[in-house]
């Protein structure tokens, strides 16, 4: 879908993964690629990444206006160099459960081609799912189970040794006495 097109073949084509899964604490790459037929420079690109916090309401994460990069979320890293090759992906470092949800990437390219100004825009959504039962938690429960098992086993073994030794001591007393 192309919006604000003045040249029929000036469409900005975009692609993104529908959904990304991650565990809390991981780094996640939200993919967004685009292709534009005409030449452009960084000055011609406007990128907006937002996290949906309500219906058609987004928290701004990253804005690149062709010159300045503004990052609102700590650990959000876009690849400004990648923009020249059509890569507007966003790296989210150390995601938390609150990072789960829909994200929007909005790419706008303005350029002068064939004597006309072309403004093309492409918006795509992706969804980040945080997996709550990650391997660290499963491994942690296994450690707890192992420790409890070893503690109970050592108590039972100690009781068995104590019982056998006390029985041997009674038998020796009976034979002496």
C-alpha distances out from residue 131 to 32, 75, 173, Å: 22, 19, 65
24 in Cβ contact with 98 (< 8 Å): no
Tokens coding 92: 């989210």
Contact 101, 17 (CB under 8 A): no
Q: What is the pLDDT of residue 147?
A: 62
CA distances from 8 to 11, 33, 37, 101, 148 (A): 7, 21, 11, 34, 70
pLDDT at position 92 is: 92
Listed in sequence order, the residues at least 6 apart from 108 whose beta carbon sits closer than 8 Å to its beta carbon are 45, 46, 47, 119, 120, 121, 122
Q: Is the distance from CB of 40 to CB of 109 less than 8 angstroms?
A: yes
pLDDT at 94: 92
pLDDT at 15: 54
| pLDDT value for 35 | 77
In this predicted structure, what is the pLDDT of residue 1?
Answer: 33
pLDDT average per 10 residues of sequence, the chain (177 residues): 35 64 88 79 86 87 90 89 87 90 84 55 66 44 60 75 82 79
What is the structure's pLDDT at 142?
55
Cα(75)–Cα(48) distance, integer angstroms: 16
């Amino acid at each position: 879908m192309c919006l604000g097109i003045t040249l029929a073949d000036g469409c900005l084509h975009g692609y993104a993964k529908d959904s990304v899964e991650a565990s809390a604490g991981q780094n996640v790459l939200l993919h967004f690629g685009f292709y534009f037929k005409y030449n452009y420079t960084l000055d011609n690109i406007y990128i907006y990444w937002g996290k949906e916090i309500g219906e058609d309401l987004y928290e701004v994460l990253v804005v690149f206006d062709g010159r300045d990069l503004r990052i609102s979320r700590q650990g959000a890293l876009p690849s400004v160099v990648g923009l020249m090759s059509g890569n507007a992906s966003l790296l989210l470092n150390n995601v938390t459960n609150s990072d789960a949800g829909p994200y929007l990437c909005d790419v706008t390219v303005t350029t002068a081609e064939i004597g006309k100004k072309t403004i093309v825009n492409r918006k795509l959504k992706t969804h980040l799912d945080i997996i709550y039962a990650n391997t660290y938690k499963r491994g942690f429960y296994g450690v707890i189970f192992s420790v409890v098992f070893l503690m109970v086993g050592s108590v039972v073994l100690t009781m068995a040794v104590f019982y056998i030794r006390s029985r041997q001591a009674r038998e020796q007393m009976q034979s002496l006495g």
